[in-house]
Amino acid sequence: MSVKKQIKTALVSVYHKDGLDEIITKLHEEGVKLLSTGGTRQFIESLGIPCDAVEDLTSYPSILGGRVKTLHPKVFGGILSRRDSAQDDAQLKEYAIPEIDLVIVDLYPFEDTVASGADESAIIEKIDIGGISLIRAAAKNYKDVAIVASKAQYAPLLEMLSKDEASTTLEERRWLAKEAFAVSSHYDTAIFNYFSADEESAFRASYNDKKSLRYGENPHQKGAFYGSLDTVFDQIHGKEISYNNLLDINAAIELIGELPASSFVVMKHNNACGVATRPTLLEAWKDALAGDPISAFGGVLITNRPVDLVTAEEIHKLFFEVIIAPSYDDEALAVLSKKKNRIILIQKDGVHTTKQFRSMLNGVLVQDRDVAKETKEELQVVTKKAPTAEEIDDMLFANTLVKHSKSNAIVLAKGHQLFASGVGQTSRVDALKQAIEKAKSFGFDLHGAVMASDAFFPFPDCVEIADKEGITAVIQPGGSIKDQLSFDYCDAHNMSMVLTGRRHFKH
């Protein structure tokens, strides 16, 4: 077991004071001498607890509008001195530097200031200098010094102080140092990304709040989520969310965010297998389920309307893993909660990140998120026959669905209902054939339906197959050197086609 280090002197200098009083009171009860600056010192003294000023130790006042307060050898010498070094000890005595055994410090709210829309001068002033230096110094010397760099560590520190009479073990100090470096590296990442803007000379990303998962995609793989799920949804019922659940939840939330009100989506393995928009939620659910009632088994359900009792009773008949909605009527929630493992989520927000990244080839692959959404005004009619207003609405609906499907992808839809999709195929022809086969197997009549493709048609074969099934309108990006072949086929067979000018590959 490691030798404990007694805390005799603590330096406390924090921006956020909430939760600090309990720590200060405990340190005082254990006879720890306190050093502090400015507002923190006033806070400590307001508790009726004595506190020495750092300015009295250094013989220098806070200068440059508070930019320089703790940056002094008498402060950093006391933190960085190695207690087992005779040379360090001699220099402390020579220059009258007291040992500092505990540092409690936090950082100016740089990220919050940027998010507030403040001007650059205000943002720059929130780049912490003294705090970040204290954190690094104390963490580096963890063998002798304990560092608390965030109020998130107040509870662990209080536990250490309570059980060991203001002393810490080497293991505890090393853990605190690790947490401190997490704070400092996250802070520096935020500053770099602010200065980098769109230049992106290097890739930096930092996420806190680890949530351990049961496993990754498969039981033999470890899995975790970093970030704040609570900002996106609240879980009000069910078992622990899995890695694969999160993938489907993310795909579902991204898709529902682009659909009209009163829509229902059934998601399976990141692809929508049922989607419908209807005047009532019950109609939307029934028509979404009709799209593929087999694949819906064990899926993830999402809607953008509150779930009522009559809809919940219908949904409850299906086995599914997750349901997401903005709210639930009390009676509806009582029905859905009858399955103890069923995950019930209340969506609070959408997905707002602007970048996507994944590990790749011992590096990181980064791209902008595909947030483009085509509008009626952007569509280019390339055939003699123009689509009807109803066909345009259906094509835009189908185009949204194909954007959120794995490539190669084809979507067949009519009347704001997904008839079928062919996804993840190595050829577009195979994707179309898969979609047609599924649609027919579930009793859909494709006459008057529309077809959406996530990429261009290099040959008119898909258009010809669609025509033979009664599909009357096609939406695709265009861009093939042989586009005209598809245009000509449509003209010869009384079909309409529009181009979006924008491809939507998804892997």
Residues annotated as catalytic are: 140, 269
Sign of dihedral through CA atoms 152, 155, 160, 165? positive
Q: Is 217 exposed, middle or buried (0-12, 13-18, 19+ CB in 10 A)?
A: exposed
Indicate the DSSP class of residue 300: E
Alpha carbon distance 406, 506 (integer Å)? 5
CA angle, corner 404, sides to 400 and 310, nearest 5?
75
Whether residue 291 contacts residue 313, with contact meaning beta carbons closer than 8 Å, is answered with no
Q: In the structure encoding, which two tokens stand for residue 248, read together? A: 């489907």
Q: In the structure encoding, which two tokens stand for residue 356, read together? A: 């996507």
Pairing of strands 300-303, 5-6: unpaired
Backbone torsions φ then ψ of 70, nearest 5 degrees: -110, 0
Q: Is 480 exposed, middle or buried (0-12, 13-18, 19+ CB in 10 A)?
A: middle
For the chain, the helix, strand and coil percentages under 3-state DSSP, each to the nearest 5: 40, 20, 40
